[in-house]
Amino acid sequence: MGRTVLIVDDHAGFRSAARALLEAGGFEVVGEASGGAEAIAAVERLRPEIVLLDVQLPDIDGFAVAARLPPCRPAIVLISSRSVASFRRRLEANPAWSFISKSDLTVEALTAVAG
């Protein structure tokens, strides 16, 4: 099996599209979460290798979720409809975090930053 992924986004439509894209590309999507608190619990339970984590969640900001996850595993890939320029300073706070704009999300892009 490919690397395991947890998809975190408050839009079910995006989660479905991302799941289809990643599964077709060989990743194993082990779970989905629609909010930050749910994501933190899901990481604990599912132990994914990669967390695809939307910045703009309705309960906890994606960066705050990332900060509450274990420091080494999983790989954190933040995603947003906004551009990387909007988050550059916050991303610099933790070099282990990666970022992909939602419009640029492909199997190749995810593999490049977390593969």
Partner 1 sequence: MPSPSWPIRTERLVLRPFTTDDLESLHAIHSDEGVARWLYNDPRSRGETRELLGHKVGGASVRAEGEWLSAAAVLGETGELVADIALLWASEAHRQGELGFVVHPAHQGRGYATEASRPLLAFAFETLGLHRVVGRLEPRNAGSARVLEKLGMRREAHLVENEWVKGEWQSELVYAILAREWRDGSAGTGQGPSRH
**Which residues of this chain interact with partner 1, rule CB under 8 A?**
10-13, 34-37, 56-61, 63-65, 67, 80-83, 85-86, 103
We find the least distance from the C-beta atom of residue 111 to partner 1, in angstroms, to be 23
Least CB distance from residue 6 to partner 1, whole Å? 16
Q: How far apart are CA 7 and CA 15, in angstroms?
A: 6
Number of C-alpha atoms within 13 angstroms, CB side, residue 56? Answer: 10
In angstroms, give the least distance from the CB of 2 to partner 1.
27
Give the amino acid at 63: F
The candidate with the shortest Cα–Cα distance to 115, out of 24, 27, 39, 9, is 27
Q: Which is nearer to partner 1, 83 or 106 (CB)?
A: 83
